[in-house]
Amino acid sequence: MREQTQDAAVWGQVAAEDVHVGNLLEMGNIVTTHYRQPAWGKAGRYLRDGHLLASGQEDPRTTERGHTIHHNLQKPIHLPPEDFFSYHKVFEASHMQGGVSGYAHMAQIFNGRRGLSLDAPFGLVDFIEVLQGGRLGVDNWYPYLNLGFKISPAAGSDYPYFGPSLPGVERYYVKLDGPFDPDAWYSSFKAGHAFVTNGPLLDFTINGRGMGDEIHVARGAQLQIAAAARLNPDIDALGRLDLIVQGDVAVTERASGGDRIELQKELTADHSMWIAVRATGNREVPAQGQLQELGAIAHSAPIYVVVDDQPFWKTPAVAELVRGEHQILQDLLTAPVDPMGDLEAWETVSVLAPQWERQRYLLRSRVQQADAKYDDILRRATARSSSAQARLGSAGLVVVAAFALAIVRGRGRRRRADSLPEPG
């Protein structure tokens, strides 16, 4: 643990915002790194009055595969130019160090979805930064949850590069069962015990289990869902609380003028699913277009309900989702490079394009492996759907047979009744 920080103003800003973990990121491109951190691992942590500064990295970053973030590293991981697009090597090295790794900027800008599509099926992606700049972006998160991947939400300001918000405006809260401990914090975040917010606070349980947990139940079991949202009225009036089931709004509770909403719901677990909650203020921000003002919003990590040990795919959507992933991976291999789209183009433009032209061909085998993993999900989901339909068909035949038998028995009783002798 560091006894002093190089820039007291950074710690002061984190403390002033009452942020308990400030992840400071060394930023890397194909040529070099910027915002270099003074130390790594425990030696790179500075803890004072319950507010922590910790070293991490946003590296690798490219316009072809997006920007990645890696927390809790023991040492930095910067690939050489001739291997820079092999993102999976950084994810694997991060996990070997006990790191937590994911995609920045909603996996949206800088073609982050392409990188996510290639790394997610290998189980390398722990989180996606879904809340940033006043917007919640789930379009590149929900599809992977619906394909059965456990990926947690994260938030960040990306200060000083990204606007319009300042450090601490977007944040994520991580559940700890004991006193604050950096190692326990990173472990709990990796496990998904978290929610992202720029204002509302969330509580959410299913059968007493919290965000990020996996619940195993038998088909037909009852799920007791309890959720609540609170919001400081100085930020905004509380608007609504949504229950999200596999990407669809299942229940909405609206505020009645107070600063708290409670939601109670009982669902029958007829299939595996992921369930989350989302809260908003009265000012709702559009997903696209110019941002006029910040709107209060929060989203929990999912709780995963596993029924009869079956994956929590959104089975009816799997075929379309897999087709989409195949197209994204094809785009990765065929789309033209945009070296001027790199944020540090003044130092990367002469290196980025020729290296991408060489390395994307080297990624073909990795893409083929990813395609095969998506196809395997589709095969298993299709088989499960066919099996479920067969069970329904069998159940229907049983009902029809029972109904027919009842008719036959009824007719037999009527015939017997007709042949009885009349009383004399």
pLDDT of 419 over the 50 cut: no
Which residue would you say has higher pLDDT here, 166 or 193?
Answer: 193
Q: Please count the other Cβ atoms lying within 10 Å of the Cβ belonging to residue 369.
A: 12
**pLDDT (tens digit, 9 = 90+) per residue, 322-365?**
999 999 999 999 998 889 999 999 999 999 999 999 999 999 99
* Average pLDDT rounded to a whole number, residues 92-116: 97
pLDDT category of residue 283 using cuts at 50, 70 and 90: confident
pLDDT of 420 over the 90 cut: no
- Separation CA 230–CA 220 (nearest Å): 32
Give me the pLDDT at residue 160, please: 82
Residue with token string 């790194």: 33
pLDDT category of residue 423 using cuts at 50, 70 and 90: very low
Give me the pLDDT at residue 403, please: 46
pLDDT category of residue 291 using cuts at 50, 70 and 90: low
CB 225 within 8 Å of CB 243: yes
Give me the pLDDT at residue 111, please: 96
Give me the pLDDT at residue 290, please: 57
Q: Which helix (H) or strand (E) holds 216?
A: strand 214-217
Give me the pLDDT at residue 396, please: 54
Give me the pLDDT at residue 9, please: 87
**pLDDT (tens digit, 9 = 90+) per residue, 65-74?**
999 999 999 9
Q: Which helix (H) or strand (E) holds 142?
A: helix 142-146
**pLDDT (tens digit, 9 = 90+) per residue, 212-271?**
999 999 999 999 999 999 999 999 999 999 999 999 999 999 998 889 999 999 999 999
Give me the pLDDT at residue 422, please: 35
pLDDT of 99 over the 70 cut: yes
The mean-pLDDT minimum among 59-63, 254-258, 345-349, 370-374 falls in: 254-258
Length of the chain as a residue count: 424
How big is the CA angle at 238 (ends 227 and 167), to the nearest 5 degrees? 95
The backbone region for 105, taken as left when phi is positive above 0, alpha when psi lies in -120 to 50, beta otherwise, is left
Domain range annotation of the chain: 200-313, 320-393
The mean-pLDDT minimum among 148-162, 272-286, 400-414 falls in: 400-414
Give me the pLDDT at residue 266, please: 98
* Average pLDDT rounded to a whole number, residues 160-174: 84
The mean-pLDDT minimum among 197-206, 207-216, 315-324, 394-403 falls in: 394-403
The mean-pLDDT minimum among 190-199, 381-390, 402-411 falls in: 402-411
* Average pLDDT rounded to a whole number, residues 163-178: 88
pLDDT of 142 over the 60 cut: yes
Instruction: With 0.85 as the threshold, say if the pTM is over it.
Output: yes
Give me the pLDDT at residue 399, please: 45
- Separation CA 241–CA 303 (nearest Å): 16
* Average pLDDT rounded to a whole number, residues 111-139: 96
Report domain 200-313's class.
Answer: mainly beta
- Separation CA 7–CA 127 (nearest Å): 28
pLDDT of 2 over the 70 cut: no
Structure tokens at 317: 């959507």
Computed over every residue of the chain, the mean pLDDT equals: 89
* Average pLDDT rounded to a whole number, residues 52-57: 96
Distance of alpha carbon 123 from the chain centroid: 13
| DSSP code, position 235 | T
**pLDDT (tens digit, 9 = 90+) per residue, 8-25?**
888 999 999 999 999 999
% residues pLDDT > 90 (the chain): 79
